[in-house]
Amino acid sequence: MSSPKTDVDEFRKILNGANRILALCGAGLSVASGLPTFRGAGGLWREFESTSLATPEAFEDDPGLVWLFYAWRRHLALKAKPNAGHYALAELAKKKENFLCLTQNVDGLSPRAGHPESAIRMLHGNLLDITCYNKCGYAERNATRDPVCPSLAAAAEDYPPGQLSPLLDPSVDLATIKPEDLPQCPDCKRRGKTSLLRPGVVWFGESLPDGMLLEVDNWLYKDPVDVMLVIGTSAAVYPAAGYTNKAKRRGAVVAVINPDPQAKSGLDGKDFFFQGGADEFLPKLFEDVIGKLKIPDTAPLTEA
């Protein structure tokens, strides 16, 4: 199998002429905004595998620990700003009406970069959403208060660079947080029941938001796909990782943007591999369509 191409100009022309474009984004897109990847730092948070904390079982076992993990990621996401990669994707969405962006990221940076809501699907939910653990229907969208509640204040403390937060130091024991001190569902309370609130993300073993998979498949099978952008993902989590081959089977030229050479596996001579950062490559690759990218100096916390 011949190896993928790397010619930026050739790809720019293909994208400029493309009608239907699909993108799959991962944690790598937000690296330039200072957010850790899932597999970065060995995929560990303190002594825990990040993926093991992102499960209903972990929440059942120790909701305080899981809430601290998410409160810490919320705090980082709220402090972070979208980078040139997020803005380039948002501009591409404004110029190409048949561009659908699928993100696995729950940090909310793409919406904050002004990515039109109609052109993005947050496959794995949003860190800033808070919902009822017992699925009573209660949901708080884009809750930006930080900390979420007093018992999680440790996750909202900042430390000077080089000084490790005790929250992240495996040698420092974590205070156990009693469930009654964690966020409670107000609707269940009104009904005389108690239920915890949980982060509005999709945990491993849980299905993706209803209707979203069907909607994406309908988009995929409506007409051929011209270009598939695979941005900053190790493509190891399903069903998200399956979209690249689905788009390829719909005729798409695949372009992978990732500093890890391993990410080019599965690509052939029709495809492209751009080895580097999303914030560096996306403005360049999209320039024929979006022009020179201008980064606004503010990124409001609520959707633009």
Which residues of the shown chain bind ligand BV8 in the complex (CB under 6 A)? Answer: 26-28, 31-32, 37-40, 54, 104, 106, 124, 201-207, 232-234, 236-240, 257-260, 263, 277-278
How far is Cα 243 from Cα 230, in angstroms, rounded to an integer? 10
How far is Cα 186 from Cα 190, in angstroms, rounded to an integer? 6
How far is Cα 122 from Cα 112, in angstroms, rounded to an integer? 13
CA distances from 62 to 52, 154, 184 (A): 12, 17, 15
* Residue number of the CB atom closest to ligand BV8: 28
Does the active-site annotation cover 124? yes
| Between 10 and 206, CB nearer to ligand BV8 | 206
| Between 239 and 291, CB nearer to ligand BV8 | 239
Q: How far is the CB of 22 from ligand BV8 (least distance, A)?
A: 16
Closest CA relative to residue 169, chosen from 31, 55, 68: 68
Q: How far is the CB of 196 from ligand BV8 (least distance, A)?
A: 17
- Can you tell me which residue has the tokens 């970069």? 113
| Between 77 and 182, CB nearer to ligand BV8 | 77
Closest CA relative to residue 107, chosen from 257, 281, 299: 299
Q: How far is the CB of 223 from ligand BV8 (least distance, A)?
A: 26
| Between 15 and 24, CB nearer to ligand BV8 | 24
Q: How far is the CB of 277 from ligand BV8 (least distance, A)?
A: 4
CA distances from 205 to 21, 27, 210, 216 (A): 29, 20, 14, 20
Q: Which residues are catalytic?
A: 124
